[in-house]
Structure 1
Amino acid sequence: MNSKTDIIQKELQSALLEKRPNEEEDQIKRRESVLEINGYQVKETIGTGAFSIVKKAFSKTHDRSVAIKIVSKQKATKDVLTKFLPREIELVRGLKHVNLIRFYECIETTLRFYIVMQYAENGSLLQLIRKEKFIPEARAKLFFNQLLNVVEYIHSMGIVHRDIKCENIVFDETFTLKLIDFGFARGNMHPVVAGGKIKPVFSKTFCGSHAYASPEILKSVAYQPQLSDIWAIGVVLYTMVIGRLPFSNENNINALIKQVSAGPKFHKDRSISDDCRDLITRILKPVDERITIEEMRRLSWLNENDSGYDDSGNEKILEKRIKLETGVDESEAKQVDINNNDNSSDQQCTSPSVYKRKVATPNKF
């Protein structure tokens, strides 16, 4: 009898000592189970955020790798769940362009959102700059033209991105540029007719990174977001060809305002053409002087016939051009100082921009 009691007690002790999966492991299993039911084989984590995680997965339906952004409803703020996330999903569903990451579907459960998108095999522009120290000007021109095309497209659709930065620019298997992350984007931003005049729609929400923020955003005044998007692509261009951000990413707003007011400085350790320097300078200007996309397209730097690179961004072998960076030893260059469907139906928008740089009195937020 005693032996039976001993056996029972040992079994109970063994059960109590047995390792049990913690709550986080349970959540991961449930999360991956939901995705597996929907035909996704979950692989490694490729990105993390404050309330989200991005997983690489293989889609049986699409027969390709995809990226899945998993947003936790428990961790996300109320604004994210009720305003920014629903807006992002609504906007990306209606957009299609060769330089936009493709949206496949959104799965919602009690605890999470799963946003399934095209997978970018060649990583982000930030990663590329960190690896190569800077982007040769001819190749940067190709990438900038693609970025210009997609920004003009979304603006023509009445959408502003409000978070353009090197981290939100990625490349697919052919090194075609793709703009991602519409978490801060907003639609219905077409100019409106009021009092017989066309007036832009203004915004007052601070969005994005300090290092890419236009002076009007830093000053916390109502701003025309199309023109702030243009400022951000100027920061991207500078960062590509120079290899570092033009302005710091610090939280001291007053110091940052002084920096942007003084304009970008071009360091001697990186040589770029006068035309490229002129374009950057004309973008990174106060809002009433800032160049528009329509005006950019008339500049010589964007209109040279041969960039020296093919459509995939690979340098031509038979017709190599002398790089503008000759004489600069890449080993001496400083490391980057930055923190932070069917293609045949993809649309390109090359029509003149409807947004002019002159700012009217705000009439709507």
Structure 2
Amino acid sequence: MTLRLGFEFPSGLPKWRANLNTSIASLRRKRMSHVEMLERRGYRLLDILGSGSHAKVDGVVKVYMAEFIADNLCQRPMACKLVDMEKAPRNYVVKFLPKELEILRRIKHPHIIETYSIIQWNKRYVCTFMQLAEKGDLLDFILENGAVSENQMRVWFRQITLAVQYMHTLEIVHRDLKCENILITAKCNVKVSDFGFARSILDDHGSTILSDTFCGSLCYIAPEVLKGLPYNPKISDMWGLGVILFVALNCAMPFRKFSQIKKMYEAQMSYDWAFRSKISDELSSQVKSLVKKLLEPDLNKRLGVQQILNSKWIAMNPKCLILSKREKSALEKAEEEITKIKAKKPTTDDVA
């Protein structure tokens, strides 16, 4: 069966095709069953790119570079996330993985990593093929190049915020926004990725519900999550955006990596963070004000997505205030979809 995904054929074979090492051959010998199955469907696994956030057991979640083969020709490379459900923690398989797959099937936005296909087989493996971000993630970019310039970060932060706005419109929250989950494409655009902790926050009656799951990465987790009480995950996503912006501009975390949650919480609540003096002198007052309003422990004062997009800092580049056709179309479709979903859900009175 030939599968058409709309890729362009490259003019020549990529360099990495000529440099496959023996570990790939070893991988294929050990896992011939699922490798053969994928190749029958036109997919070929290549180098291992990394491990997923749930890879608490070796081999549970692995991310590969892959390629789609059609008519014996190599198409554009992609990324492949392979989950071994037999080795994965039961909590992940039962609670998080089904939500992630459901969300990946629903979302499509120019600033969210695109999912091409999801393949499940033998009740053991789940394989998600998605867009390859050629320049890696934002954290690696910062570690290699230093702090991101304010002008560049304005463009990237707008893209990230638009992706979050789209998700929140669909009543979906990410709950693990961090630099490692912001990927950079060959054209230097950023894409939000990794929806392992994402979930819908609508109940069976169409009402929004709070979260009570402690999830995410400690350095990016909002104080209300650390507190251990039910929280509004949309507001908590805003904290994650604030940490991303701070790290990108400052090339350092806002809060030291405390091993104790209590100390981290106390630092967050007391505004115990500051830009490095050398960096602070070069930053505009508008971006410093925006970071302060995002790393705000008072939930009633923390900014929302629309306030970010309408902020004075974003407005410093007038082009950032205008939605592209694809951005506008994605948001309108999300608004239409959520309206239909809420209309179909029974109200409390209907159930009674």
Q: Specify which of 210, 218, 226 is matched with residue 210 of structure 1.
A: 218
The answer on 1:162 being equivalent to 2:170 is: no
Distance 1:255 1:265, change over 3 A: same
Measure, in 1, the Cα distance between the counterparts of 2:213 and 2:283: 35
Question: CA deviation digits over 1:149-188, x for unaligned, max 9?
Answer: 0000000001000001000010122111111111100014
Describe the SS at the equivalent of 2:316: coil
Work out whether residues 97 and 347 of structure 1, in 8 Å CA contact, stay in contact via their aligned partners in 2: yes
Measure, in 1, the Cα distance between the counterparts of 2:229 and 2:201: 20
Deviation of 1:351 after TM superposition, in Å, equals 10
Measure, in 2, the Cα distance between the counterparts of 1:284 and 1:349: 29
Deviation of 1:27 after TM superposition, in Å, equals 3.3
User: Which residue matches 1:229?
Assistant: 237
Deviation of 1:297 after TM superposition, in Å, equals 2.8
User: Which residue matches 1:255?
Assistant: 263
Q: Percent identity among equivalent residues?
A: 30
Q: Specify which of 330, 338, 347 is matched with residue 330 of structure 2.
A: 347
User: Which residue matches 2:138?
Assistant: 125
User: Which residue matches 1:325?
Assistant: none
Q: Specify which of 280, 301, 306 is matched with residue 291 of structure 2.
A: 280
Work out whether residues 210 and 251 of structure 1, in 8 Å CA contact, stay in contact via their aligned partners in 2: no
Question: CA deviation digits over 1:44-83, x for unaligned, max 9?
Answer: 1101242211110111259321111010112111121122
Deviation of 1:345 after TM superposition, in Å, equals 9.8
Amino acid in structure 2 at the alignment position of 1:45: I
Deviation of 1:299 after TM superposition, in Å, equals 2.1
Measure, in 2, the Cα distance between the counterparts of 1:351 and 1:96: 9
User: Structure 1 length normalisation: TM-score?
Assistant: 0.74
Deviation of 1:90 after TM superposition, in Å, equals 0.8
The answer on 1:45 being equivalent to 2:56 is: no
More helix by share: 2
Question: CA deviation digits over 1:231-276, x for unaligned, max 9?
Answer: 0000000001101111233330111011111223121021311110
Measure, in 2, the Cα distance between the counterparts of 1:135 and 1:162: 24
The answer on 1:29 being equivalent to 2:37 is: no
Q: Which structure's relative contact order is higher, taking Cα pairs within 8 Å and 6+ residues apart?
A: 1
Measure, in 1, the Cα distance between the counterparts of 2:204 and 2:276: 39
User: Which residue matches 2:277?
Assistant: 268
Q: Specify which of 64, 73, 80 is matched with residue 85 of structure 2.
A: 73
Question: CA deviation digits over 1:87-143, x for unaligned, max 9?
Answer: 111111111100011111111122311111111111100111011111001101110
Distance 1:227 1:288, change over 3 A: same
User: Which residue matches 2:303?
Assistant: 291
The answer on 1:243 being equivalent to 2:234 is: no
Distance 1:349 1:285, change over 3 A: farther
Amino acid in structure 1 at the alignment position of 2:256: S
Deviation of 1:348 after TM superposition, in Å, equals 4.2
CA RMSD, 1 decimal: 2.9
Measure, in 1, the Cα distance between the counterparts of 2:205 and 2:237: 19
User: Which residue matches 2:164?
Assistant: 151
Any residues of structure 2 matched to 1:192-203 within 5 Å, and which? 200-203=208-211
Amino acid in structure 2 at the alignment position of 1:236: I
Distance 1:114 1:191, change over 3 A: closer
Which runs of 5 or more structure 1 residues have no equivalent in the other structure? 1-22, 194-198, 312-342, 355-365
